[in-house]
Amino acid sequence: MCDKYICNQLGIDAIGDGGWSNNGWAKYKKELEENFRAITQLGYALVVISHDADKTFKRKDGTEYNQIVPTAQKSANNIVKDMADLYMYAYLDENTKERKLMLRSLDGTVDCGTRFKYMPAEIPLDYDALVRALNEAIDREAKENDNKFVTDQRTEIPQPIAYNYDELMAEFNDLVGPLMQKNSQYYGPRIVSIVEKYLGKGKKISDTTIDQVDFVHLIVTEIKEELK
């Protein structure tokens, strides 16, 4: 969906068609990162799952090594990896036939890690075991810092706002009309740029439907902020 959104914005069929001038890949990465972070900032716990692959990598000195890594697209995976508190690998131990979660790879053969320094390297693949290990790691680290950075207060998730499509369309017309009368050569291209930013290249706000009310809200908000 992110790929499609950026292609619509740039009026191209594939991200790679953007060339250096449009820089489609940079826009794609920025859009993806902003939306991943927006979810976590709303107070949700975000869980991202990928398949794995055993890949061969080459060091600077020419030697090679193997590492188990996610199969997710590299740009998306790097975003998730950088923001993750727990970057884990689930696997079946062939010796014990137990399902396990690896949180730290002691020999570097698995790409995984955690922000909590007292998390064990491995635990059973079990939710309760993960909760216990995480709480113990937090408690140990909190004790080191006199509990300065720990709180039991829950994050309140804001309720989504229901926008009125007809009112927003009327507000758009009330904003744009005077601006165009004032100086159409100056404001015209800027209004078009804002509309295309959210709807795609060549699209007009008159093309929207009630299902795109959030986009209309963003367009109206940006016009008020940028062109007031």
In whole angstroms, give the CA distance from residue 21 to residue 103.
41
Structure tokens at 164: 């009125």
- Residue 149 pLDDT > 90: no
Give the pLDDT of residue 110. Answer: 95
Domain ranges of the chain: 1-45, 47-153, 165-226
Structure tokens at 215: 């986009």
DSSP structure string for 30-84:
HHHHHHHHHHHHTTPPP-----EEEEEEE-TTS-EEEEEEE-S-HHHHHHHHHH-
Band the pLDDT of 20: cuts 50, 70, 90.
Answer: low
Q: Of 96, 95, 97, 70, give the one whose Cα is nearest residue 84.
A: 70
Q: What is the DSSP secondary structure assignment for residue 155, as one 8-state letter?
A: P
Q: What's the rounded mean pLDDT across residues 212-223?
A: 92
In whole angstroms, give the CA distance from residue 204 to residue 60.
51
**3-class SS of residue 181:** helix
In whole angstroms, give the CA distance from residue 88 to residue 146.
28
Which residue's structure tokens are 């020419």?
Answer: 62
- Percentage of the chain beyond pLDDT 90 is 54
Q: pLDDT tens, 62-86?
A: 899 999 999 988 888 888 898 899 9
- Residue 116 pLDDT > 70: yes
Compute the radius of gyration of the chain from its Cα atoms. Answer: 24
Q: pLDDT tens, 159-202?
A: 667 899 999 999 999 999 999 999 999 999 999 999 988 888 88
